[in-house]
Amino acid sequence: METPRLLFIGLVWPEPQSSAAGTRSLQLLSLFAAKGYAITVASAAQNRDFSIDWAAYPYTFHPIAVNDTAFDEWVKTLQPEVVIFDRFVTEEQFGWRVREQCPQAFTLLDSQDLHFLRAARQQAVKKQVPLSRSLLLSDSAKRELASFYRCDWVLVISAFEYEWLQNEWQFPAAQLVYLPLFGEKGTSIPDFTSRADFVFMGNFMHDPNTDAVLLLKEVLWPKIRRQLPHAQLRIYGAYTSERIQQGHQPAQGFLCLGRAPEALATIASAKVMLAPLRFGAGIKGKLLEAMQMGTPTVTTSIGAEGMHHDGLWNGVITDDWDVFVQAAVHLYTNALAWTSAQEQGFALLQQQFSAALHTDRFWSRWDSVQAQLEQHRQANVVGQLLNHHTLQSTRYLSKWISEKNKT
């Protein structure tokens, strides 16, 4: 039997040490590799110093370019049975080419998070107005939702977004697959007395993280520090901006330390993680890693969205900043409360983020859809319309750019 082929088209080359997005991509690839797929990873992004070591993975890595007809011949020769688009932008750029050259390929779009939801929430915070339909229904939303419809499956990482897309946007459940980040309890968990400091971690190319650190610096940390004058808050993150670095003030216990050498070990060394996220989407890798390493967290409803379950959370969820401050101090100083929060996090991992649980569900549904693929595609009338009409403009614009680039 011929080995099945999978093509993963990345928005960037995976960087698991920089963000949860990189971890997510590698988990997806491992999922299919375990089923015997030969995997090719392609991206039009420039390779970064912190992307994965290609030699350490049994995959083929192939640089590609946007608006390049060479992609057409290459993918036609490859003839993958499965194509995964990493976020909707890559589907916009390469989806029509894949469908033209490999019409039978099963297409999956890994949303990572709902970009239009995150952007609308950011605008609401910036304008200090409630989140509204007018903010949500942006041009970006139309592009993203259209991209979803064009694919056979859309993978969503958040339980909230899985329900929200169906309830608020009437997106068909047959095309949605809930597949969160996987997380397991760490093997070496320091106890309460072995830890020190608060911690925040996040990629600073991601606006919600920058906003959260500025909020900590200007509003929350001074209040916490007054009650805990010897405590420190360690800020770690990839691609730290000058604005974040300028906040480094050791005398106030506010330490901006750049990229963490080892994320899980760094989180495990801290007593409490602080994550005052005012906007965002998806699920937060930092909070999942905190659960894995037994580090209680204080976060917001946005931070915990799609992650807490049946009242379980490894700490405190609040949008009241005074409550946030008191919860941080209480968890930092009370060993019983700290241990209880840690145990809830471990229980939540087992119930919601077990790789075995979601892997079994994924392949069961996969087998069902593959057995009736033609019916599955025929039911997606909106997707067929969009592939027939909307992509014509994308295709001819791309062809025009390709010709223009030759001159």
**Cα 150 → chain centroid:** 21
Pairwise CA distance, residues 307 & 52, whole Å: 27
Report the pLDDT value the prediction gives residue 392, as an integer from 0 to 100: 64
Task: Please provide the average confidence, as pLDDT, over all residues in the chain.
Answer: 93
Report the pLDDT value the prediction gives residue 400, as an integer from 0 to 100: 58
Q: What is the pLDDT of residues 114-139, one digit of tens each?
A: 999 999 999 999 999 999 999 999 99
Domain 192-352 has CATH 3.40.50.2000: yes
Kindly tell me the number of DSSP H helices and DSSP E strands found in the chain.
Answer: 19, 13
More confident residue, 54 or 124: 124
Q: What is the pLDDT of residues 337-393, one digit of tens each?
A: 999 999 999 999 999 999 998 999 999 999 999 999 999 999 999 999 898 876 566
- Fold agreement between 5-182+355-406 and 192-352: yes
Res. 42: pLDDT tops 70: yes
Pairwise CA distance, residues 199 & 233, whole Å: 5
Beta bridge partners of 312: 309
Report the CATH architecture of 5-182+355-406.
3-Layer(aba) Sandwich (3.40)
Q: What is the pLDDT of residues 182-223, one digit of tens each?
A: 999 998 899 999 999 999 999 998 999 999 999 999 999 999
What are the DSSP calls for 78-146, one per residue?
Answer: H--SEEEEESHHHHHHHHHHHHHH-TT-EEEEE-SS-HHHHHHHHHHHHHT----HHHHS-HHHHHHHH
Q: Would you tell me how many other CB atoms lie within 10 Å of the CB of residue 311? A: 7
**What pTM, to 2 d.p., does this model score?**
0.92
Q: Where are the domains of the chain?
A: 5-182+355-406, 192-352
